[in-house]
Structure 1
Amino acid sequence: MTEPFRPVLLALMVEDQVRAALLEDLGRAGDITTYATIGPGKTAAAKLNSREDGVIAGIDLAGAAFRLVDPSVRFEALVRDGDHVRAGDALIQVEGAARSILSAERVALNYLMHLSGVASYTARFAAEIAHTRARVTCTRKTLPGLRAVEKYAVRLGGGSNHRFGLDDAILIKDNHIAVAGGVAPAIEAARAYASHLVKIEVEVDNLQQMREALAVQPDAVLLDNMGPNLLAEAVEINRQHHGLSSAEYSLAIGRVVLEASGNVSLQTVRAIAESGVDFISTSKVTMAAPTLDIGLDVSIG
């Protein structure tokens, strides 16, 4: 079986991210602790090891941290982003000037630990719903400046991405509906404004609003804070609206996509997925993911 393509981070984006992080950490005078305690001729070898099971993300960013501090540092990745690792596995080895390795260590580990935590937490959600057709998806609730790389980590963990910003899709929420004068007027106005490549999704709070939305056929409906029973009813309403059999529904192209959101956790996501929705969006995979414990162990040359 052919392995699916893994997500890719653009090299230019990686360099911009890491350069800003290094400038923040090194400040105006550089790593004065390392400069004060370690001579310029000292060399070192180090391994970055995972201290718990998880999914790895951020190898390229870690590599960029060492490279930007000192291009002569030898960096070797022993795993790839998206790999599942066990506690004790070696991830990366580096060799070179001890000062350079220690000055880059924190930035490299920050990216690896945080993004691997996002990928690992997403993988736990994805595993809970693997027996359904639903997919877990992230939101715009990301740490400022880290949206692109956090969304990359979500994909590595088996999740999917919602919109990246306010400019790549239309999501009509409750306040838009209130100002626009209703669900249907908001969708119709959005359709008149949007180009043919822009998707339109509308958030609804109840099944009556959903029926109003279906009447004007958005691309997707976000079912906000509905329990599994109401979600299952929404799926049935959608199936009947499109005149599809139960067997046809899951395979149908062009029908309205249903997304569930609100009260999503590892304890609730299975029941939500079993309602028959297509996507389950949650900010927890980015905003509540614990870091993956990764350490750097150094030996002096």
Structure 2
Amino acid sequence: MLTRHTIDTVVRAALAEDAPWGDLTSETLIPADATATADLIAREPGVFSGGAVFEAAFRLTDERVQVRVLVADGTHFATGTVLASVTGPARGILQAERIGLNFVQRMSGIASLTAQYVALTAGTEARIVDTRKTTPGLRQFERQAVRDGGGHNHRFSLSDAVMAKDNHLAVLTAGGLDVTSALRQVRDRLSHTTHLEVEVDRIDQIEPVLAAGIDTIMLDNFDPDALRAGVAIVAGRAIVEASGGVSLDTVAAIAATGVDVISVGALTHSVRSLDLGLDIRLTVAATAATAATAAPAAPAAPAAPAAPAAPAARP
């Protein structure tokens, strides 16, 4: 779960990047006491994610802005759905609009894409999981969006588990040890609470890796036939993860092979932001006094020419 502290820390940084010295446009054009109400509207169907992040963008810009999120994260919605409403000082709404939209559009895009993958694997035991291929600084938001779309999270960081990939194994065995012996030494050094996963890219690598007592084996870039054969060899001795070559076109066939986990980098590294818009539907004009001070004074009307003097009386 995203905490308020995490949300506010990331959103503050985004707001500071976008308006380091304020919003020059809104401060110049909009009277200070003008208020507005706006709706967050879906311009295409999808799955909602990022309600609390959207709210934070406005709250941290101007605490007088009130945001009502009208649908829960993880909710499927249709085109035209009003997802949230925003009311308060117009300057604050206009200043926070882009940052709020950036976050909620991206998170909802991730949730929507994840939901498509999950739907295509329905009826199998395979879990759709994300990867570390996230936007720097936004990993917690993006991984929350994966969960909102019905997916699951892989290890959150390099500190969470041991995952030995091909380059790790090349270094590990450079001293002459075989893969099984090298991985056994790794296993012996780990706490019993630490998960060990190993990547292989050939069928003949499976048995030597399993002999080391690993927890998960990743079958990288295996086609469905090879995945099916790999699952049969593993025979329940480890969790089987499929990785590489996963798309909306291939995921159903991959899930049907019997793998336990399918990792999908595309959920976060190449996702399309969802089309959501913030439409102002009501504004309250500034008071006459404020409007008078905000608007440039109208030029004074020219003075009427003086009437000609009457002719002097004749003597």
TM-score normalised according to structure 2 size: 0.87
Whole-Å separation in 2 of the counterparts to 1:140 and 1:146: 11
Deviations 1:103-155 (A, max 9, x none): 01111100100000000001111111112110111100000001111111101
The code of the aligned residue for 2:179 comes to: V
* Contact 1:49–1:88 (Cα < 8 Å) also in 2: yes
Whole-Å separation in 1 of the counterparts to 2:138 and 2:183: 31
Residues 274-293 of structure 1 mapped to structure 2, 5 A cutoff: 274-293=256-275
> In the TM superposition, what is the alpha-carbon distance from 1:187 to its structure 2 partner?
2.0
> In the TM superposition, what is the alpha-carbon distance from 1:213 to its structure 2 partner?
1.0
> In the TM superposition, what is the alpha-carbon distance from 1:193 to its structure 2 partner?
2.6
> In the TM superposition, what is the alpha-carbon distance from 1:207 to its structure 2 partner?
1.3
* Contact 1:172–1:186 (Cα < 8 Å) also in 2: no
Which of residues 203, 215, 218 is equivalent to 2:211?
215
2:11 corresponds in structure 1 to 18
Alignment of 1:63 with 2:55, yes or no, is yes
Deviations 1:223-275 (A, max 9, x none): 00000000000111111xx5xxxxxxxxxxxx400000011100011111101
Deviations 1:7-32 (A, max 9, x none): x31111111111111111112x2110
> In the TM superposition, what is the alpha-carbon distance from 1:192 to its structure 2 partner?
2.5
The code of the aligned residue for 1:291 comes to: S
Q: Choose 1 or 2 for highest CA Rg.
A: 2
1:43 corresponds in structure 2 to 35
1:157 corresponds in structure 2 to 149
Alignment of 1:300 with 2:277, yes or no, is no
Whole-Å separation in 2 of the counterparts to 1:122 and 1:154: 6
Alignment of 1:197 with 2:193, yes or no, is yes
Residues 184-263 of structure 1 mapped to structure 2, 5 A cutoff: 184-239=180-235, 255-263=237-245
The code of the aligned residue for 2:183 comes to: I
Whole-Å separation in 1 of the counterparts to 2:220 and 2:167: 13
Q: Percent identity?
A: 47
* Contact 1:187–1:200 (Cα < 8 Å) also in 2: no
1:100 corresponds in structure 2 to 92
* Contact 1:170–1:190 (Cα < 8 Å) also in 2: no
Which of residues 114, 126, 132 is equivalent to 2:124?
132
Which of residues 107, 110, 130 is equivalent to 1:115?
107
| SS, match of residue 159 in structure 1 | coil
Runs of 4 or more, structure 1, over 2 Å off, are none
| SS, match of residue 142 in structure 1 | coil
1:247 corresponds in structure 2 to none
Structure 1 unaligned spans of 5+: 1-7, 243-254
> In the TM superposition, what is the alpha-carbon distance from 1:195 to its structure 2 partner?
1.6
* Contact 2:187–2:213 (Cα < 8 Å) also in 1: no
Whole-Å separation in 2 of the counterparts to 1:148 and 1:78: 23
Structure 2 unaligned spans of 5+: 285-315
| SS, match of residue 60 in structure 2 | helix
- In the alignment of these two chains, the number of paired residues is 279
Whole-Å separation in 2 of the counterparts to 1:34 and 1:183: 63
